[in-house]
Amino acid sequence: MAETPLDGTATGQSRPVGLHGVAADWASDQRAFKSVSWGKAMMWIFLLSDTFIFGCFLLAYMTARMSTTVPWPNASEVFALHIGGVEMPLILIAIMTFVLISSSGSMAMAVNFAYRRNRRATVTLLLLTAFLGATFVGMQAFEWTKLITEGVRPWGNPWGAAQFGSSFFMITGFHGTHVTFGVIFLLIVARKVWRGDYDDDGARGFFTSRRGDYEQVEIMGLYWHFVDLVWVFIFAFFYLW
C-alpha cells in the first residue's frame, strides 16, 4: 500500500514488504501503521469495539432462540407482504437490503470523487447515500408499524416465543439508530464538502480549530460500510434462519 505522507516530511525510504514490513512498522517509532491517519485509526478501533456490541446482541439473540421451549415464529411468514393478492415472503427485507447495499456503492463513489476534489459529484453522491439510508430507515419504520398492528410487542406476539419481538425490536432498533446517525453525519459531511471546508484554505472545525481534509469523507465511508456489513449479519441470522 502506498504511503500517504501527511506533510512533505515523510521520506520515500524504502521499507521492507510483507510480514517483515509489518514487523518493521511495529518496531519503528512514531506510528505503527505508516499509511493510516489518526482519524482513520480511531474509526477502525471504534468499529472493532462496536463489532463486539453487535456480536453480543446477536449472541444473546441466538441464546434466547436456541433455549426457548415455545416455538419460534416462522420468519418467512411473519416478514411477508400481501402484494396483489400474492403472499411474498421477505420481499420488504429484500428491497431494504438492496437499498442499503446500493448506498454502499454510492458511498464508495463519493470517496473516490472526494479524493479527486470533484466537489459537485461528491456532494451529489453523499446526498444520494443519505437518501438511500433514510429510505432504509423509512422502510424499517413501515415494517415495525406492520408488525405492531399485527400484535407484535417487545413482551409478546401472537405466534410464539416472546423473545422474538424483544430481540427483533432491540437489534433492528439498534442498527436503525446507527443508520440514522450515519445519515445525519452524511448530511454534515456533505455540507462541509459543499462549502469547501476540506480544501486547503477551508474553514477550521468549530470546536476543534483543526483543518479538515477530504479523508474525512473516507472515514465517514468506513462507518457507513460497517453499518451495511452488520445488516448483512442481522439479515442472515434474523430473517433467513
Partner 1 sequence: MVDATPHAEQGVPPAETPELELYHPKGWWTTYVFSQDAKVIAIQYSGTALAIGLVALVLSWLMRLQLGFPGTFDFITPEAYYQFMTMHGMIMVIYLLTALFLGGFGNYLIPLMVGARDMVFPYVNMLSYWIYLLAVLVLVASFFAPGGPTGAGWTLYPPQAILSGTPGGQGAGIILMLVSLILFIIGFTMGGLNYVVTVVQGRTRGMTLMRMPLTVWGIFTATVMALLAFPALFVACVMMLFDRLLGTSFFMPALVEMGQLMSYGGGSPILFQHLFWFFGHPEVYIVALPAFGIVSDLISTHARKNIFGYRMMVWAIIIIGALSFVVWAHHMYVSGMHPWFGFFFATTTLIIAIPTAIKVYNWVLTLWRGDIHLTLPMLFSLAFIVTFVNGGLTGLFLGNVVVDVPLSDTMFVVAHFHMVMGVAPVLVVFGAIYHWYPKITGRMLNEAMGQFHFWVTFVGAYAIFFPMHYVGLVGVPRRYPELGDVAFVADSVHSLNAFITIAALIVGFAQMVFLFNLVWSLRYGREAGGNPWRATSLEWQTPTTPPPHGNWGAARPIVYRWAYDYSVPGAPEDFIAQNDPGPQHRGAV
For partner 1, which is the closer residue by CB, 26 or 115?
26
Q: Is 184 in the site for partner 1 (CB under 8 A)?
A: no
| Residues 74, 78: Cα–Cα separation, whole Å | 6
d(Cα 120, Cα 113) in Å, to the nearest integer? 9
Min dist. Cβ of residue 61 to partner 1 (A): 9
Amino acid letter for position 72 = W
CA dihedral 61, 62, 65, 67 (to 10 degrees): -120
Using alpha carbons only, give the angle 147, 152, 157 rounded to the nearest 5 degrees.
Answer: 140
| Shortest Å, Cβ 44 to partner 1 | 9
H-helix or E-strand spanning residue 52: helix 38-67
CB of 149 to partner 1, least distance (A): 18
Please give the full DSSP string across 59-88, using - where no structure is assigned: HHHHHHHHH-SSPPP-HHHHTEEEETTEEE
Q: Does 149 bind partner 1 (CB under 8 A)?
A: no
Is residue 161 near partner 1 by the rule CB under 8 A?
A: yes
Are 72 and 65 within 8 A, CB to CB? yes
Residue 170 near partner 1 by CB under 8 A: yes
Q: Does 154 bind partner 1 (CB under 8 A)?
A: yes
Q: Could you say whether residue 208 binds partner 1 (CB under 8 A)?
A: yes
| Site mask for partner 1 (CB under 8 A), range 32-71, x = bound | xxx-xxxx-xx--xx-xxx-xx-xxx--x--xx--xxxx-
Which residues between 69 and 128 bind partner 1 (CB under 8 A)? 69-70
Question: What grid cell was written down for 135?
Answer: 429510505
Query: Least distance from C-beta 201 to partner 1, angstroms?
Result: 15
Residues 6+ apart with CB under 8 A from 81: 87, 88, 91, 92
Binding residues with partner 1: total (CB under 8 A): 54
Examine residue 14 and tell whether it contacts partner 1 (CB under 8 A).
no
Q: Using CB under 8 A as the criterion, which residues of the chain lie in contact with partner 1 when the complex forms?
A: 5-7, 9-11, 13, 26-34, 36-39, 41-42, 45-46, 48-50, 52-53, 55-57, 60, 63-64, 67-70, 154-155, 161-163, 165-166, 170, 174, 205, 207-211
